[in-house]
A and B are shown apart, each in its own frame.
Chain A
Amino acid sequence: MDSVLPVGRPRVVEPASLRIIGFVGDLLTVARRSLRGALREPAAVIPALIIPVFFFAVNVGSLGNVANAVAGFDYTAFQLPVAVIFAVTGVSRANALVTDISSGYFERLLLTPVSRLALLLGLMAADVALVVALCLPVLAMGAVAGVSFVTGPLGMIAFVVVAAAWGLAFTGFPYAIALRTGSPAAVGASFILFFPFAFLTTAYVPADALSGWLATVAAVNPVTYVLDGLRSLVVAGWEPSRLAGALIATGAVAALSLTLSLAALRRRVRMGAS
């Protein structure tokens, strides 16, 4: 009875192909509105541009000489994946979703035949576009700092794909919180999630240099594997096992965050009759 997520179409039986076209249309409509909103509220995106530049400059500037001398490797190249993770982690339009929920506009959308699933996935699609756009200045910054990809242009594309996939996996959390609570404060607080993921990992030194509890935490932090995969593309070459590690870690986080956000979506639209 409670089939929440299926496409909310009238009961007129439509061929499956038409339904899919309808769903994709809904998704693009939602995504387009979301991107337009993001461009008009640059304040929501600018921190995601500044934070990676800031940390990249500080980390490379303060630790670069020491690390290069002690470890004997290119610390600038080592830091570039950290910058991209900082850029893409937590970028989402969950704030805009909460605004819609509290203004009642979300209900106006629920009063249309639009697919409920597209209301969430459309926002995520917009986030992927944003995240890819945020990767580009980071790559440019790396190029200026003298980082070159041993895997070449194809490796750069793979780098962006892995980073974007991670960014997408992470957005599920703020959306779950937005849909569950409808509270701007709670969504704002979800930024805290960023810290353990981004810092309790190999952000500063390689895994074999970590020790004690940090080594233990880093070993179970998916970001450790995402960073390792990204770094392999910059300095090591095509290493399927390290890329697979990044994708498996991303997939595991995506499975969790999507489950949570879809459950929250289901709960929010279940109050309605569809």
Chain B
Amino acid sequence: MTLATSGIETGAERQAPLAGGGHAVAARGLIREFGGRRAVDELSLAVSEGEIYGFLGPNGAGKTTTVRLLTTLLRPTGGRAQVAGVDVVDDPAGVRLRIGVALQEASLDLIQTGRELLSLQARMFRLPAAAARSRIGELIELVDLGQAIDRRVATYSGGMRRRLDLALALVHQPQVLFLDEPTTGLDPVSRRQVWEEVRRLNREEGLTVFLTTQYLEEADELAERIGIIVDGRLAAEGAPAELKRRIGRDVIVIRFDGEPGAAASTVADLDPVEHVEAADHELRLMVSDGPASIPIIAARLAQSDRLTVREMTLRRPSLDDVFLEVTGRRLAADGDQGDE
């Protein structure tokens, strides 16, 4: 194992906080290579204590690898990271005591009951028996599993498994909670339940939450700050509202009947139009000043006999637009979530 880029550091330097005090998660120049390819490429980020941080990125951008580095499941090739003030390489066991982790796809043992898994978890964290019992009681209530807790996990619905997974991550009262795509594959009702849970844990227990998600709506709803990772690097970071403002442009959505290519070329050369995206029966135009652009665009569309406009709306940029701006592609491709 080499820490190629971390250079020579004294013990005292390694103990020092990476990004000033009060950070629940801090990474500096974090690198992870797989066979020469950098999945995480000199990533630096800082998450404050008590914050909900949303970590976004296209598939393969390095989201999950970053989480695995921060949770001690993977060793960095270079750079450094501290979680709850503890270095992930120097003292992984110390990190594990302070973090709760719910990885993608609830990882559970289906032939045991929920209660058995909770008490197994408590024993592995060496909770004294009495403390374990009362903590498990609290958690059963918290994640609302009721009678089901004594049934085998195989009988649980997807939402129940996620909630049990969350409870398992919380048995030892961690300071930082890592959630890797906590609601992927859940129905909207279960998804809202998980969101409620995360908010409550953050509010009432002061838990810092590091959340990766592929749902922009989720990040928008939950996260106080968002980081967007592209090709292993942090491409943008900030509060959702701030990121949207930073785009500095408005979006005009036009629904129409006609051929998309022809429709796009009709308006593409107009002065205020900075970017055109054409889909089936829909154009999205990025414009510098929405209200001032609408008449110009409407006039051009009215002259054209190549398309019939059905609807024209002006809106502020969404997180999806931020994502497009930063990554060059849309995240919300599968249509099962709306960010508008």
Contacts and interface: CB of A to CB of B under 8 A. Distances in A.
B120 interface: yes
Given A33-B112, A105-B109, A112 B75 contact: no
B73 A113 contact: no
B91 interface: yes
A104 B105 contact: yes
Interface of B (DSSP majority class)? loop
Contacts of B111: 37, 40-41
B1 to A, nearest CB: 5
A139 B235 CA distance: 69
A66 B179 CA distance: 69
Interface string A70-108: 000000000000000000000000000001100111011
Contacts of B168: 108
A107 B68 CA distance: 10
B108 A114 contact: no
B73 A100 contact: no
B92 A107 contact: no
A29 B103 CA distance: 23
B123 A25 contact: yes
B135 to A, nearest CB: 14
A56 B92 CA distance: 52
A10, A100, A271 — which one has the most chain B CB atoms within 10 A of its CB?
A10
Contacts, number: 89
B107 A104 contact: yes
A22 B116 CA distance: 20
A273 B124 contact: no
B115 interface: no
B109 A29 contact: no
B106 to A, nearest CB: 8
Interface stretch (A1-9, A57-65, A259-267): A1-9
Contacts of B74: 271-273
B257 to A, nearest CB: 48
A110 interface: yes
Contact of A273 (B92, B108, B120): B92
Contact of A105 (B96, B108, B125): B108
A22 B120 contact: no
B1 A108 contact: no
Contacts of B186: none
Contact of A100 (B89, B104, B105, B109): B109
A26 B72 CA distance: 20
Interface residues of A, number: 32
Interface string B88-114: 110111101101010111011111100
Contacts of A36: 112, 116
Contacts of B108: 103, 105
A107 B124 CA distance: 13
B107 A107 contact: yes
Contacts of B93: 8-11, 113, 274
Nearest to B109: A105
B266 to A, nearest CB: 51
A111 interface: yes
Nearest to A112: B124
25 contacts: A2-B1, A8-B93, A11-B93, A25-B123, A25-B126, A33-B109, A33-B116, A36-B112, A37-B109, A37-B112, A40-B152, A99-B109, A100-B109, A103-B107, A105-B107, A108-B101, A111-B71, A111-B99, A112-B124, A114-B124, A271-B74, A272-B73, A273-B72, A273-B74, A273-B92
Interface of B: 1, 71-75, 88-89, 91-94, 96-97, 99, 101, 103-105, 107-112, 116, 120-121, 123-126, 152, 168
Interface of A: 1-2, 8-11, 22, 25-26, 29, 33, 36-37, 40-41, 99-100, 103-105, 107-114, 271-274
